[in-house]
A = this chain, B = another copy of it.
Amino acid sequence: METNVISLQETIKNLLKNKKYATLRDILTTMNPVDIAAIFEEIQNEKMPVLYRLLPKDTAADAFVEMDEETQEFLIHSLSDTELKEVLDDMFLDDVVDMIEEMPANVVKRILRQSTPEDRKQINMLLKFPEDSAGSIMTTELVILRPDMTAEEAIKRIRRTGVDKETIYTCYVADNLSKLRGIITIKDLLLAEDDTKVCDMMDTNVISVTTLTDQEEVAEIIKKYDFLALPVVDQENRLVGIVTIDDAVDVMQEEATEDIQKMAAITPNTDTPYLKIGIFDTWKSRIPWLLLLMISATFTGMIISSFESALASSVVLTAFIPMLMDTGGNTGSQSSVTIIRALSLNEIQFKDILKVIWKEIRVACLCGVALSAVAFLKIMLVDRLLLGNVAVTVPVAIIVCLTLAITVVVAKIIGCCLPMFANKLGFDPAVMASPFITTIVDAVSLAVYFMIATNILGL
């Protein structure tokens, strides 16, 4: 699929260079707007307006919506006012708002000037909602029916007004005061008798959100109930818009990316694709966490320093530090990441914490026994026999394996508790992933290591 688009790009570039406009038009007619947008993003030069004017009218706006902001901005500068107006008329308002948010002020002014007064009012209203709220991702173009309409009247209304609506598949029933009374699908309307009243068929148990509901919650509700769209009401329960599933899917993906970035100690940036982010922005999203984690490693260093004399008399102990630290970090991360994901999928809540800890302890014991047994064999067979390191004695192996088992249990408990407490306290649990868990577990495991060592070896 990718390959097709790429080779097609070359063809289109060549045809454009050779001014084969009729052929280009034929090719563009067969293409999906998403793929057309990809080609515009690639060529992005003074030939772009020529190519854009070759697009069929109804495809032009669809392709425009799919382009990245850079390409959109470039294109807007070369469009006439009339052309811009045509594009804007064909776009859904939520897409116009998304675009405006990324554009420089002069372009925004031009866009608003070309919009109809009614659209301008709606755009300004939508722009006021906080980022990440239902209001900021909703569209105001929806089909509204009255409770006393018949199925036939409702279908007629949809046929008359539907062309400008983002979805006609779910219709919303509101009374004269715009209060949301029920929802009805076009499927219900089509399958009903002509004279059945809307209010007798509509579903009155409507699940809705307010304009200020967090977009993550909106996406979760849409996913949970398999909705195609979710109604949004204002503080007075008046219907003001809907969030459609395509926007919810984008939110879900953004949230997953955000979680993944946080888990790797990166300040989330989900708006811009990797290659388009400048290196200073990338640096800024990574360095604070690295610094914080580096400074926290001071404690681990202090633990080692305080056992320096013990280490000096038994340097062999140092060789096992990386293995103990890494295994502790890995076991802790496994638990924390599992718990973070389960929390974000609503599979567990804070009230399950005892069940979670009990489960992790049992898994940790199984892991601890297996790892210690293998480590003991490895130390005696590889380190002592194969590599011939005579300092690796049975007591040393016992110290390492005992530390390993304790570390695994502690790491799994910390790994499951921290995200749950973070969640309870209203922080994002995703921050409590590998890097933080590793730093804490390191300190614990080294302290345990040296305490056992000084006791067993009498250092």
Flag if A190 contacts B207 (CB, 8 Å): no
Task: List residues of A whose CB falls within 8 A of some B CB.
Answer: 1-2, 30-32, 34, 155, 158-159, 162-163, 168-169, 186-187, 190-191, 205, 207, 221, 223-226, 228, 245-246, 249, 252-253, 256-257, 259-261, 263-266, 273-275, 279-280, 282-283, 286-287, 289-291, 293-295, 297-298, 300-302, 304-305, 308, 311-312, 315-316, 318-323, 325-327, 329-331, 333-334, 336-339, 341-342, 345-349, 352, 355-356, 359, 362-363, 366-367, 370-371, 374-375, 378, 382-383, 387, 389, 433-435, 438-439, 442, 446
Instruction: Using A260-B260, A282-B359, A366-B280 as known contacts, say yes or no to A266 and B325 having CB atoms under 8 A apart.
Output: no
Which B residue's beta carbon lies closest to that of A204? B30
Contact partner of A279 (CB less than 8 A), chosen from B286, B362, B446, is B362
Q: How far is the CA of A414 from the CA of B224 in the complex (A)?
A: 39
Contact partner of A327 (CB less than 8 A), chosen from B260, B297, B304, is B297
> Shortest distance in angstroms between A456's beta carbon and chain B's nearest beta carbon?
19
Flag if A275 contacts B245 (CB, 8 Å): no
Contact partner of A301 (CB less than 8 A), chosen from B31, B287, B301, B320, is B320
Q: Across the interface, which residues of B come within 8 angstroms of A257, CB to CB?
A: 341, 345
Q: Across the interface, which residues of B come within 8 angstroms of A433, CB to CB?
A: 264
Which B residue's beta carbon lies closest to that of A362? B279
Flag if B311 contacts A298 (CB, 8 Å): no
Q: How far is the CA of A289 from the CA of B253 in the complex (A)?
A: 27
Additional 14 contacts, C-beta under 8 A, given A34-B226, A293-B326: A2-B349, A34-B224, A274-B338, A283-B363, A283-B367, A287-B370, A294-B375, A300-B323, A301-B320, A308-B315, A311-B318, A322-B325, A326-B439, A329-B438
Q: Across the interface, which residues of B come within 8 angstroms of A304, CB to CB?
A: 318-319, 321-322
Contact partner of A323 (CB less than 8 A), chosen from B297, B318, B359, B435, is B297
> Shortest distance in angstroms between A431's beta carbon and chain B's nearest beta carbon?
13
Flag if B187 contacts A168 (CB, 8 Å): yes
* Assembly stoichiometry (copies): 2
Which B residue's beta carbon lies closest to that of A333? B264
Q: Across the interface, which residues of B come within 8 angstroms of A349, CB to CB?
A: 2
Flag if B260 contacts A347 (CB, 8 Å): no
Q: How far is the CA of A184 from the CA of B260 in the complex (A)?
A: 38
Q: Across the interface, which residues of B come within 8 angstroms of A367, CB to CB?
A: 283, 286-287, 290
25 contacts between A and B (CB under 8 A): A1-B221, A2-B349, A30-B205, A159-B191, A169-B169, A245-B249, A259-B260, A261-B337, A264-B333, A264-B433, A264-B434, A273-B342, A274-B348, A274-B356, A275-B356, A282-B359, A286-B331, A286-B363, A287-B367, A290-B331, A297-B327, A304-B319, A308-B316, A311-B318, A329-B438
Flag if B312 contacts A326 (CB, 8 Å): no
Which B residue's beta carbon lies closest to that of A298? B382
Q: How far is the CA of A311 from the CA of B273 in the complex (A)?
A: 45
